[in-house]
């Protein structure tokens, strides 16, 4: 293979240590944007030359197109400058990020009292976006006269990003995914509904811990308990808008013991299971560059 000019990207979320476990961003077939637009033509209202793509993702996504692209590296001052530029030029924004880091940026943005773009598409992936968090972010942005739409993406680090994409949810709250990656083959085990993905370009196969089922031409994908325990999901979905504006979403579940991280600027509360931002980091580590631990330690 001619490797001249190619971009290799290691996904921050993978547990693989394989030096060859990278994505090739360029030269590997149709762009993901064109595949998304084939499945969701209405998204052309965002993916066009009058928009701006801003990335706060922890890996290179290869979101190419006619719109200008800005990498912010999860650096809030850079994100703020990019959003100001989009507002000044009356551009719609496509913001790509993981759920918790993206929410942190949006809440801080709204607290900055700057003019926001009138509409924003949140291309969110890496792990499940709780419906309660989506609502909290949407409502906060609407207070700033910015209308939010969501583009949920599901992929596997070694296979490719955004293999499945959704713009709506099922009644149960799960995203209504469509498979958009033509180069990816999806198989569901008849034994336990586990999802296996294969990249037909490089032959790599990953058997996930996630469960999937086809509903018509749409996919319902449920995160494995090692990534999202049922009791953690129930806890997260029970949070109000006010809870999310106080809490980062990072937590530790160990049986009946739950410890929740507060945001850096959050006021202290009387709840014993809430830890101040830096106290939580000192005890459990982590950062917004990391995926949350949403499993149940007592079950492992």
Question: pLDDT digit string (tens) for 55-98?
Answer: 998 776 656 667 888 888 889 999 999 999 999 999 999 999 99
231 has a pLDDT exceeding 90: yes
Mean pLDDT of 147-158: 93
Which region, left, alpha or beta, applies to residue 255 given φ > 0 means left and ψ of -120 to 50 means alpha? Answer: left
Please, what is the angle between helix 131-143 and helix 230-237, to 10°? Answer: 20
Q: What residue spans define the domains of the chain?
A: 8-182+210-222, 230-299
Confidence grade of residue 1 (pLDDT, cut at 50, 70, 90): low
How much is the pLDDT for 66?
78
Please count the other Cβ atoms lying within 10 Å of the Cβ belonging to residue 17.
6
How much is the pLDDT for 26?
56
293 has a pLDDT exceeding 90: yes
* Percent over 90 (pLDDT), the chain: 74
Q: CA-to-CA distance for 137 and 135, rounded, in angstroms? A: 5
How much is the pLDDT for 32?
86
Chain-centroid distance of CA 16 in Å reads 19
Mean pLDDT lowest among 168-177, 182-191, 243-252, 270-279: 270-279
CATH architecture of 8-182+210-222: 3-Layer(aba) Sandwich (3.40)
Q: CA-to-CA distance for 275 and 294, rounded, in angstroms? A: 17
43 has a pLDDT exceeding 70: yes
256 has a pLDDT exceeding 80: yes
Please count the other Cβ atoms lying within 10 Å of the Cβ belonging to residue 157.
20
Mean pLDDT of 93-113: 97
Look up the pTM and report it: 0.90
Residue carrying structure tokens 């993981």:
98
Cβ neighbours for 70, distance < 8 A, ≥ 6 positions apart = 52, 53, 54, 55, 78, 82, 85
Q: How open is the CA angle 96-102-106, to the nearest 5 degrees?
A: 115
Mean pLDDT of 206-218: 96
Mean pLDDT of 212-219: 96
Mean pLDDT of 21-37: 69
How much is the pLDDT for 28?
42
Cβ atoms 260, 273 nearer than 8 A: yes
Cβ atoms 98, 58 nearer than 8 A: yes
Cβ atoms 121, 92 nearer than 8 A: yes
């Amino acid at each position: 293979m001619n490797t001249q000019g190619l971009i290799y990207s290691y996904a921050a979320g993978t547990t693989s240590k394989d030096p060859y476990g990278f994505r090739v961003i360029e030269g590997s077939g149709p762009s993901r944007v064109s595949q998304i637009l084939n499945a969701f033509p209405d998204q052309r209202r965002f993916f066009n030359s009058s928009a701006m793509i801003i990335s706060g993702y922890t890996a290179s996504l290869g979101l190419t197109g006619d719109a200008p692209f800005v990498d912010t590296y999860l650096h809030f001052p850079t994100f703020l400058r990019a959003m100001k530029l989009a507002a000044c030029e009356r551009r719609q924004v496509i913001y790509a990020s993981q759920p918790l880091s993206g929410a942190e940026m949006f809440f801080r943005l709204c607290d900055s009292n700057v003019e926001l773009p009138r509409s924003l598409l949140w291309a969110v992936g890496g792990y499940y976006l709780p419906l309660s968090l989506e609502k909290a972010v949407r409502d906060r942005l609407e207070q700033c006269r910015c209308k939010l739409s969501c583009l949920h993406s599901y992929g596997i680090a070694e296979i490719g990003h955004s293999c499945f994409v959704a713009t709506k949810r099922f009644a149960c709250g799960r995203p209504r995914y469509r498979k958009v990656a033509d180069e990816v083959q999806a198989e569901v085990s008849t034994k336990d509904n586990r999802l296996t993905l294969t990249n037909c370009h490089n032959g790599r196969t990953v058997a996930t811990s996630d469960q999937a089922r086809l509903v018509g031409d749409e996919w319902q994908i449920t995160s494995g308990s090692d990534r999202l325990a049922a009791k953690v999901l129930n806890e997260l979905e029970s949070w109000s808008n006010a809870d999310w504006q106080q809490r980062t979403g990072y937590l530790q579940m160990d049986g009946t013991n739950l410890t929740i991280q507060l945001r850096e600027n959050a006021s202290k509360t009387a709840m014993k299971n809430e830890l101040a931002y830096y106290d939580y980091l000192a005890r459990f580590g982590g950062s917004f560059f990391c995926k949350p631990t949403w499993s149940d330690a007592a079950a492992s």
